[in-house]
Amino acid sequence: MKNISNIKSQTDCFASFLATPRNDDSVRNLKPQTLTPLPLEGVGGRSNFKLFLPLFSIFVLISQIVNAQQISIDNQYIVNKYSLSPAYSGINDVIEIYAGHRQSWTGIEGAPRKSVLNMNTPASSKSGFGGFMNYNQAGIFNTITTQISYAYKLHFSEKSLLSFGLSGGITNYYIGYSYKGTETQADPVLANSQSIQRTYPEASFGILYRINKFDIGIAIPRLLVNKTKNNDKSFVLSNRQYRVHISNEFSLGKSWQAEPFVVVNKTDNSKLMYDIAAIFKFKKQIWAGATYRANSAIGISAGINYNNFIFNYTYEFSSKGIAGYSSGSHEITIGYIFDKKGKKKSILNQGNPYEKWVE
């Protein structure tokens, strides 16, 4: 029974570690005595060994990108800027609906994956609404976030505006010891352990300034800090997150356009994470681009806008760390833009809201 309680306590410690954001230095400075070695013989010796391997594997992989649980990673913003900030609610004067799925670290059991569904629409010339649902899973950790958003726009001229966005909703956190993705469910200790499930309020805020086709904004995708307790141990489920984003579209001749992006994210007690991306568009209907992420991940994207139906695919690979264990990350985004009746507009033509409709 001592061995069994040892396994359970180590699993609790492991869950607490992954649920709390840490920077890379704290991961490297972990000392061996943090966890007592699991016995490979004795009570459930073979089962303990099966338990240790998946736990250790997940620990090593998550430590590569330990902030991923706190900073949700995706590339949808290259076609849908509403995913960056609630300040983009209704800013393009059309109804936009998007769905996406991202599978990180393909080939690794328990690797992070994310599914999203969102929409936004103008309510008037000065306001817009939106809403989204995000599902994230990484091993035994699951979150479902649902929020609705509102944005108010101040127009300074036909080419410049300032938008304030606010969103609110709930997030459901679930940590399941009986996760079926590894052989840990074969161990009766973990299978019978009490899972953690909590629901907390969530809120976001953003400010966006746009002039011509240049955007700069700041956002707090998570305003609230959520904590919980399990077995008298307190740990953080989510920390406050901060974001700065910049983009600018410019012409490269008659038929070509380019749009670079810089997106910087940070949570409390973590280092900066940043994306540098650029897409090149041909007649605003087809595009291709690349992304560099701070953890040495490189992404290649391509997409098309066909009769207001949007499709974008991104393949991402790492140049170090888990590069030898994974075949990369895959992300798909699909969307549809409901234009004003009888009018046409490309979603990639994100100029000022007064831009004339083309018959």
Q: Which of 39, 120, 54 is nearest to 87 (CA)?
A: 120
* Torsion over CA: 319, 325, 326, 327 (sign): positive
State how far the Cα of 244 lies from the Cα of 274, in Å rounded to an integer.
Answer: 9
Under a CB-based contact definition with an 8 Å cutoff, are residues 128 and 164 in contact? no
DSSP 118-153: EEEEEEETTEEEEEEEEEEEETTEEEEEEEEEEEEE
Task: State the CB neighbour count (10 A cutoff) for residue 229.
Answer: 10
pLDDT for res 190: 53
Q: What does the angle CA 150 – CA 155 – CA 157 come to, to the nearest 5 degrees?
A: 155
Q: How does 126-162 read in b/e, with b if 16+ C-beta sit within 10 Å?
A: eebbbbbebbbbbbbbbbbbbbebbbbbeeeeebebb
Q: Which of 167, 166, 195, 160 is nearest to 180 (CA)?
A: 195
State how far the Cα of 42 lies from the Cα of 201, in Å rounded to an integer.
Answer: 45
**Exposed, middle or buried: residue 40 (CB in 10 Å: 0-12, 13-18, 19+)?**
exposed
SS3 label, residue 233: strand
DSSP 300-344: EEEEEEETTEEEEEEEEEESSGGGGT---EEEEEEEEEEPSTT-B
In angstroms, the Cα distances linking 37 to 7, 41, 101, 191, 272 are 9, 12, 38, 21, 33
In angstroms, the Cα distances linking 149 to 116, 120, 206, 218, 264 are 15, 8, 10, 16, 22
Running along the chain, 359 residues long, what does each successive block of 10 average in pLDDT?
Answer: 41 44 40 40 45 48 47 88 98 96 90 96 96 94 96 96 98 77 50 77 98 97 87 81 97 95 91 94 96 88 97 90 79 92 50 40
pLDDT for res 354: 39
pLDDT for res 11: 43
State how far the Cα of 78 lies from the Cα of 80, in Å rounded to an integer.
Answer: 6
Under a CB-based contact definition with an 8 Å cutoff, are residues 116 and 146 in contact? no
Under a CB-based contact definition with an 8 Å cutoff, are residues 19 and 69 in contact? yes
Under a CB-based contact definition with an 8 Å cutoff, are residues 154 and 91 in contact? no
For 331, list phi and psi in degrees, rounded to 5: -140, 130
State how far the Cα of 148 lies from the Cα of 25, in Å rounded to an integer.
Answer: 36
Residue 254: partners with Cβ closer than 8 Å, 6 or more residues away: none
C-alpha R_g of the chain: 22
Q: Look up the CATH architecture of domain 72-338.
A: Beta Barrel (2.40)
Quote the pTM value: 0.76
Q: What are the boundaries of each domain within the chain?
A: 2-62, 72-338
Q: Which helix (H) or strand (E) holds 13?
A: helix 2-19
